[in-house]
Amino acid sequence: MELSGATLIDGEEVRPIDHLLLRGDPARPALDGRSGSQNYAELEETLGRLAKWLAGFGLERGARVASWIAKGPVAALMPLAAPRAGLVHVPVNPLLKHAQVAHILADSGAQLLIGTVGRLDTLAPADVPVECRLLREDDAACAMSGGGAMPPSTAGPDDLAAILYTSGSTGRPKGVMLSHANLWLGAAAVANYLKLTADDRTLCVLPFSFDYGQNQLFSSWYAGGCVYPLDYLTPRDVMKSVDRRDITTLAGVPPLWIQLTELNWQAEVAGKLKRLTNSGGALTRPLVTKLRSLFPEADVYPMYGLTEAFRSTYLPPEQVDSHPDSMGSAIPHAEILVVRPDGSLTDDDETGELVHCGPLVAQGYWRDPARTAERFRPAPPASRYGGVAVWSGDSVRRDADGLLYFVGRDDAMIKSSGNRISPSEIEEAAVAVPGVAEAVALGVKDERLGQAVLLLIRSDDAGSEAAVVAKLKTELPNFMQPRRIVRLADFPRTPNGKIDRVALAKEYDR
């Protein structure tokens, strides 16, 4: 089918996001997994059927449709099918519980919720708004197997396509509004700098409710490659899938990489991976070293992003060894500025706030003008794009070569005896100690200092605390030394697999 209706934005021909599958070779595989394999032509037909089924409920244009389902064909196609039907997709992380789901349904005003029977059965009548109809995932899957199909949409680039809810680690989850152009340009940018091709096979282990997880699908399909959705129970399931599916591309967050490096990989299996992409937290030097050793054939791509602007920076693989602590520089279609509180640009190596400008900037928070005004503000005067920018709240510095380095979140910085301490500096020093898998540095109340440093480490070695104390005394100044070190068997996690720092802070800052 011919592509039509393109809009040129920042040099890229942007189309409605539901046109994505039309880019691929009709005969090449597009989706594979436990439910079988479909090529691009078959998957486009399946997408059209799912969209027609959704349109059959007679909802007004722009109505929200939520999905709370496991990974599979329905979950993979809902982000395209809802916009094709003129609706807005609201993906819900399968790991969330009924109270969190109830908030998302009420806040988004969803009129349909498609879910697995087991998940729907956990909802009480009070959890579901009166106007929201519950539908079984099985019914959606049945609709995709036959019947008529809806043709590609004629949506505009600024039309709302999705609302992605943040994990809610600070306050109630916020719904980030993403347009067709946001999603299309994000797919194009990532496919470009990852050098994805039609021969690549992506194992999708991250939640599709996570912008990084959803982009696994979009960037792979933009490049004409094949995706393999996987809900895994253990890291060993990931390793087995890499082997069985000849996976070339794997996206993850630091806790997953740590778990994968603890497995015994056979050289021929590890050698199948050609690229590893990381976001959702910085890779430490020891972890990069382990990844390099285990996966010598794979390029490592450290990345930084925020849901409000999708992805901001990446570090090219050839610079990982020489600049392991850097978060890189701007991805395509992003302009990244480091500014002072007055909006002026910082000098080299001067810490400032990261501000993301350009067409990847989302449309704000759903029905939340107050919080939108806090984060989405006019771009600094130096921006070549102008318009609205995302003021991240993250402190970074830029070196003379233009590479960026994460310093910390302003609201996470530890203020001790007049010093501003970056938790990441302490954490990186701690995980350099053999046997320490992960570390979290927190500021806890102290009458004399304001805050004292508490260091939590994940380790099975009873001698780790002493080793960390010795390491930090040689690596860090006195004002950064932890008042106390606590060894834990594991850390609590957010639904996206990140360390739940808020839960840890509540537990220990008493």
Amino acid at site 395: S
Domains in the chain with CATH codes: 7-180 (3.40.50.12780), 232-408 (3.40.50.12780), 414-508 (3.30.300.30)
Q: Model's pTM, two decimal places?
A: 0.85
- Local confidence band at 169 (pLDDT 50, 70, 90 cut-offs): very low
Residue bearing the bigger pLDDT, 474 or 4: 474
Amino acid at site 270: A
What percent of the chain clears pLDDT 90, i.e. is strictly above it? 78
- Local confidence band at 418 (pLDDT 50, 70, 90 cut-offs): low
Q: Give whole-number Cα distances, 293 to 80, 286, 289, in Å.
A: 38, 11, 6
Q: 386 and 374 in contact (C-beta within 8 Å)?
A: no
- Supply the DSSP symbol for 153: P
| Beta strands at 64-68 and 88-91: parallel, antiparallel or unpaired | parallel
Enter the tokens of residue 188: 């194009």
CA gap 90, 140 in Å, rounded: 16
What is residue 481's predicted lDDT score, i.e. its pLDDT? 92
Q: 83 and 181 in contact (C-beta within 8 Å)?
A: no
Q: Measure CA of the first residue to CA of the last residue in the chain; give whole Å.
A: 62
Give the DSSP per-residue string, 17-48: GGGGGGGS-TTSEEE-STT--EEHHHHHHHHH
Amino acid at site 393: G
- pLDDT tens figures, 237-290: 999 999 999 999 999 988 889 899 999 999 999 999 999 999 877 788 888 999
- pLDDT tens figures, 101-159: 999 999 999 999 999 999 999 999 999 999 999 999 999 999 999 999 999 999 999 99
What is residue 476's predicted lDDT score, i.e. its pLDDT? 81
93-108 core/surface letters (b: 16 or more CB in 10 A; e: else): bbebebebbbbbbebb
- Supply the DSSP symbol for 223: T
Given a cut of 50, whether residue 329 has pLDDT beyond it is yes
Side by side, the strands of the sheet bearing 438-446 are 438-446, 450-458, 484-488
Q: Phi first, then psi: what are they for 39, rounded to 5°?
A: -85, 180
Given a cut of 80, whether residue 510 has pLDDT beyond it is no
What is residue 1's predicted lDDT score, i.e. its pLDDT? 47
What is residue 4's predicted lDDT score, i.e. its pLDDT? 59
DSSP-assigned beta bridge partners for residue 254:
none
- The stretch 399-420 carries a mean pLDDT of 80
Enter the tokens of residue 68: 């709370």
- Local confidence band at 97 (pLDDT 50, 70, 90 cut-offs): confident
Q: What angle, rounded to 10 degrees, do the helices at 73-84 and 40-55 form?
A: 60
Given a cut of 60, whether residue 51 has pLDDT beyond it is yes
| Beta strands at 7-9 and 335-339: parallel, antiparallel or unpaired | unpaired
β strands within 183-317, DSSP E: 201-204, 226-229, 249-252, 275-278, 299-304, 313-314
- pLDDT tens figures, 182-222: 999 999 999 999 999 999 999 999 989 989 999 999 999 99
Given a cut of 80, whether residue 25 has pLDDT beyond it is yes
Instruction: Single out the residue of 484, 432, 440, 476 nearest to residue 458, CA to CA.
Output: 440
- Supply the DSSP symbol for 315: -
- Local confidence band at 478 (pLDDT 50, 70, 90 cut-offs): confident
Q: 292 and 286 in contact (C-beta within 8 Å)?
A: no
What is residue 442's predicted lDDT score, i.e. its pLDDT? 93
Q: How many residues does the chain have?
A: 510
Side by side, the strands of the sheet bearing 275-278 are 38-39, 29-31, 226-229, 201-204, 249-252, 275-278, 299-304, 313-314, 329-330
What is residue 157's predicted lDDT score, i.e. its pLDDT? 97
Residues 6+ apart with CB under 8 A from 2: none
Residue bearing the bigger pLDDT, 69 or 417: 69
Q: 202 and 187 in contact (C-beta within 8 Å)?
A: no
What is residue 343's predicted lDDT score, i.e. its pLDDT? 95
